[in-house]
Amino acid sequence: MAGVSVDLPASAPTPKEPGKFLLALKSRIDRGRRPSPSSIPWTPCDFRRLQSVPNSPLQQDPDRMASEDQVKETVSRSTTETATGVHTFEIIGLSLKKVIGAGRSFESGTFTIGGYKWMLRFSPDGLTKNSKTSWLHIILLTMNAVVPVWHEVRLVKRLSGKLGRGWISPSEQHQTLNTTGQSTGPQSISIKMDMSHEDLVTSGYIRDDRLTIRCELTVVKETTLSPTTLAAAELIDVPPPDIASHLGKLLEDKEGANVTFSVRGETILAHRVVLFMRSPVLKGRLLGPMRDKGTDMVMTIDDMQPEVFKALLHFIYTDSLPDLTDLEGDDYREMIMHLLVAADMYAMERLKMMCQRILAKNLDLETVATTLGLADQHNCQALKDICIELLNSSDPDEMDVVMKTQVYQNLKRSCPSVIIEVYERSRKRPKT
């Protein structure tokens, strides 16, 4: 194969001496006479031989090494990972106990934030006889730990549920708790609330004899140092995963759809492979008696509203709920309840748990009976426990109102075991 020779000095080494040849070529290029690819003679190169050349100038040239060191850029990153969590502490019977005594307190249950265990201790009558100010202590229970933490404590207005007066650590200043047994730091955060027991009773924060304290903690979990990497890699911006958006567009465009659902007269198209992957129930139906009916399948669904089935398909394709902002109040809650039923029907466990969480967050005395019946019928134990706890923590007058509703009466007839469970758990609750 012919080629044009590179204009090198007469003493230039030939390609048979690969180390010297590359060094001379580099020197030529450094002087501003960069040859074009077509001007370099083609000669097969044995890379194993190149690497094994003893005392190769290419390996030992200090100018070359210095030049590379000057332009090479590296980067490392120190990352501080934090975790934030909220614990709501509800104190019942506070106004009935006008004075419980200095140093005596109410304690919350144990909760976990950032992998550490915590507890709240509330002293409404202060710490000493001469102190009338209420105190709240945020206690680190995990032993042998050193934890930097920021706090935000607020009283909750019982009537509106909005956040009221608060005690917040500055964003630039944290407190480090230490349970290693050394005297380098406290084991709790002590907050002087500047309100007496009597102030709290008359403040409006207590309603139905309950005071609610919301405690938000942000803890530093760990600081990690990434390995040193080339800075150039930082210039490559990798976009976030977008498979869910592509699958959502596939559902919207219906391109390649090969399954037809007839949902109460409305035709809805889908893709068999996605249904196979996401729902074992749909997979079983599509692989059952219908598999010999050709590539295009038709399934009839009469026990679900079209809008509910569309929302179910949206979750199947995207692993997220559709936009339901156009629904408010009872309409939104009803859609979530229908979706929970659909999730149970088609074995979509994540969707089922998401619906339970939404219903639990929006639970009140007006909806608790309906939600309890739904939870019992579809084996939602966590949601069922929350409903029973709400009923048993209600005032007797409030409970009477619930028991007189038609929904509760229907629940007694259709699910008497649930009513018995509510009663049995109420008997086991500690007296306040």
Residue-wise pLDDT tens for the chain (432 aa)? Answer: 444 333 444 444 444 444 444 444 444 444 444 444 444 343 443 433 333 334 434 344 444 344 444 556 676 777 778 899 999 998 887 765 566 667 778 899 999 999 899 999 998 888 777 777 888 899 999 998 889 999 999 998 877 778 888 888 887 778 889 888 765 667 889 988 888 888 887 787 887 778 899 999 999 876 666 666 655 655 677 888 999 999 999 999 999 999 999 999 999 999 999 999 999 999 998 887 555 555 567 899 999 999 999 999 999 999 999 999 888 888 999 999 999 999 999 999 999 999 999 999 988 888 898 999 999 999 999 999 999 888 888 888 888 888 888 888 888 888 888 888 888 877 776 655
Q: Where in the chain is the domain with CATH 1.25.40.420?
A: 363-431
d(CA 271, CA 177): 55
- At residue 72's C-alpha, the angle toward residues 68 and 73, to 5°, is 170
The pLDDT value given to residue 391: 87
Pairing, β 266-270 against β 259-263:
antiparallel
Q: What is the DSSP letter of 292?
A: G
- pTM confidence score: 0.51
Predicted confidence at residue 164, as pLDDT, reads 85
Burial class (CB in 10 A: 0-12, 13-18, 19+), 2: exposed
SS3 call for 316: helix
> What's the pLDDT at 426?
77
Q: Where in the chain is the domain with CATH 2.60.210.10?
A: 82-220
Q: Is 286 in a helix, a strand, or coil?
A: helix
Number of neighbouring beta carbons within 10 Å of residue 72: 10
Strands (E), 30-93: 74-75, 78-92
Q: What is the pLDDT of residue 379?
A: 93
Rg for the chain (alpha carbons), in Å? 35
363-431 folds as 1.25.40
Tell me the pairing of strands 74-75 and 229-230: antiparallel
Res 232: pLDDT: 60
CATH H-level, domain 251-354: superfamily: Potassium Channel Kv1.1; Chain A (3.30.710.10)
Tokens of 45: 């190169």
Residue 250 to residue 244: CA distance in whole angstroms:
10
Candidates 387, 421, 381, 379; CA nearest to 407 is 387
Rounded (5°) CA angle 113-358-430: 60
**118 vs 108: CA distance, rounded Å:** 9
pLDDT of residue 403: 85
Q: What is the CATH number of domain 82-220?
A: 2.60.210.10
The tokens describing 331, both together, are 């309409």
Strands (E) across 109-235 are located at 111-113, 116-123, 133-140, 146-156, 163-168, 175-178, 188-196, 206-207, 210-225, 229-230
Rounded Cα gap, residues 93 and 207, in angstroms? 10
Report d(CA 406, CA 421) in Å as an integer.
19
